[in-house]
Amino acid sequence: MDEEKSSLYSLHKSDKVIFILFFVFFSILFLLFSDEAEDNWVEGLYTVFILVGNAVALVYFIVFRWLQRLPTRKYYLLLILKILSFTVILLAIQGFIFYQFIEVTPDEAGVTLGDFINVMFIVLLLGSVLMGVVMFKKGNESQFQMLKAENLQKTYELRLLKSQIDPHFLFNNLNTLDALIDTEVKSAKLYIQRLAKLYHYLVRTQDEDTVNLEEEMNFAKDYIYLIQERFGDNYQFSIVNNRKTNEERLIPPCAAQTVFENIVKHNNASRGNPIITKIVVEDEQIVISNNIRSKKEPVLSFGVGLSNLQSRYQILCNRPLTVKVDSSYTITLPLILKLKDH
């Protein structure tokens, strides 16, 4: 916390440039309108340097040293006392410089109460502008850091969510492959090829947040093949393409796998009473619906799959997937519009 406070108004290189430019600008401005400068440029220059120097020194300490946090009522009082004390010290130094180098007192040089008021005016004006510039810069920097941290957090969450794949997936497929090898060698060979394609997709997309819709649909077809080889006609799938646009759409990788696993896990399918799943691909979404034949004994499930998929959607596009249950079970997966590169 202390480190954050000290860095809130810390003087960076760009701030130093701004500070010097303000000092030069107000020095020239004050010099041009100084009465002393009309009579004696040397004394006028010293006067301007001292007066504006007082103002700049005050502004520097106020903005970059004393305002380390948002002022409270007590802090305001302390700040005023600091400013008054610092002003007295500066005026004493100013008097010493006038006497030593110009060999006149501040009164003889024409430094009056009005000049002191001018210094305070410069302090208020210069301090307000400079503090506004610095706070604007700090605000932008803070916003950038927050966005950066938010993006890093989202990336971490996505990686974590994607790593939580059903642990039974490999086990079930190896069991199916074992059964096929004993009875149907050709089918087993084709099964291995489709399983290899599927795993290649899983490995290739493990670091991807989204994939092309066509890629995901090809993956879905491979996954459907594995399900049907395992269960036969107990699970039947149909894919309907109702897209009317050629614009590229994105989807979280393995979203189809999550939905299909959910269908198999929670339904009791048989050849006489199959689970029929219809997959409709539209321009803005994929609608997957199936009839319901719930298992007599509830399946032990923690809802990790769909919950994770929902969280991934929330992170990627802030559009939730929707689930509707009536005579059938319908889940809608939003499609993400690919931003064009500029």
Within a domain: 99: yes
Within a domain: 279: yes
The confidence band for 9, taking pLDDT boundaries of 50, 70 and 90, is very low
Judged by average pLDDT, the poorest of 85-94, 201-210, 225-234, 248-257 is: 85-94
The verdict on 130 and 241 lying in the same domain is no
The verdict on 132 and 169 lying in the same domain is no
User: Is the predicted pLDDT of residue 64 greater than 80, yes or no?
Assistant: no
Within a domain: 50: yes
The pLDDT of 98-124, averaged and rounded, is 58
Most confident region among 52-56, 115-119, 240-244 by mean pLDDT: 240-244
Picking from 116, 150, 184, the residue at the C-terminal end of a domain is: 150
The verdict on 144 and 173 lying in the same domain is no
The verdict on 196 and 280 lying in the same domain is yes
Within a domain: 83: yes
Within a domain: 159: no
The verdict on 78 and 187 lying in the same domain is no
The confidence band for 308, taking pLDDT boundaries of 50, 70 and 90, is confident
Q: What total number of domains does the chain contain?
A: 2
The pLDDT value given to residue 174: 79
Within a domain: 200: yes
- Convert the pLDDT of each residue in 155-174 to its tens digit: 656 555 555 555 567 777 77
Print burial letters for 48-66: b (CB count within 10 Å at least 16), e (below 16).
Answer: bebbbbbbbbbbbebbbeb
The pLDDT value given to residue 305: 75
The verdict on 134 and 193 lying in the same domain is no
User: Is the predicted pLDDT of residue 3 greater than 50, yes or no?
Assistant: no
The pLDDT value given to residue 147: 73
Mapped onto helix, strand or coil, the DSSP state of residue 241 is strand
The verdict on 223 and 318 lying in the same domain is yes
Within a domain: 156: no
The pLDDT value given to residue 263: 93
Judged by average pLDDT, the poorest of 25-39, 193-207, 255-269 is: 25-39
Within a domain: 342: no
d(CA 44, CA 109): 9
User: Is the predicted pLDDT of residue 2 greater than 50, yes or no?
Assistant: no
d(CA 176, CA 184): 11
The pLDDT of 172-185, averaged and rounded, is 81
The verdict on 174 and 97 lying in the same domain is no
Residues making up the chain, counted from first to last: 342
The confidence band for 342, taking pLDDT boundaries of 50, 70 and 90, is very low
The verdict on 144 and 242 lying in the same domain is no
The verdict on 181 and 296 lying in the same domain is yes
The pLDDT value given to residue 8: 40
Domain that holds residue 139: 2-150
Higher pLDDT, 127 or 286: 286
The verdict on 80 and 212 lying in the same domain is no
The pLDDT value given to residue 280: 98
The pLDDT value given to residue 175: 81
Q: For residue 325, give every residue at least 6 positions away whose Cβ sits within 8 Å of its Cβ, in sequence order, or none.
A: 292
The verdict on 78 and 40 lying in the same domain is yes
The pLDDT value given to residue 176: 81
Return the CATH number at 217: 3.30.565
Nearest to 333 by CA among 315, 316, 310, 305: 310
Picking from 119, 150, 181, the residue at the C-terminal end of a domain is: 150
Picking from 98, 128, 150, the residue at the C-terminal end of a domain is: 150
Give the Cβ contact number of residue 252 at 10 Å: 27
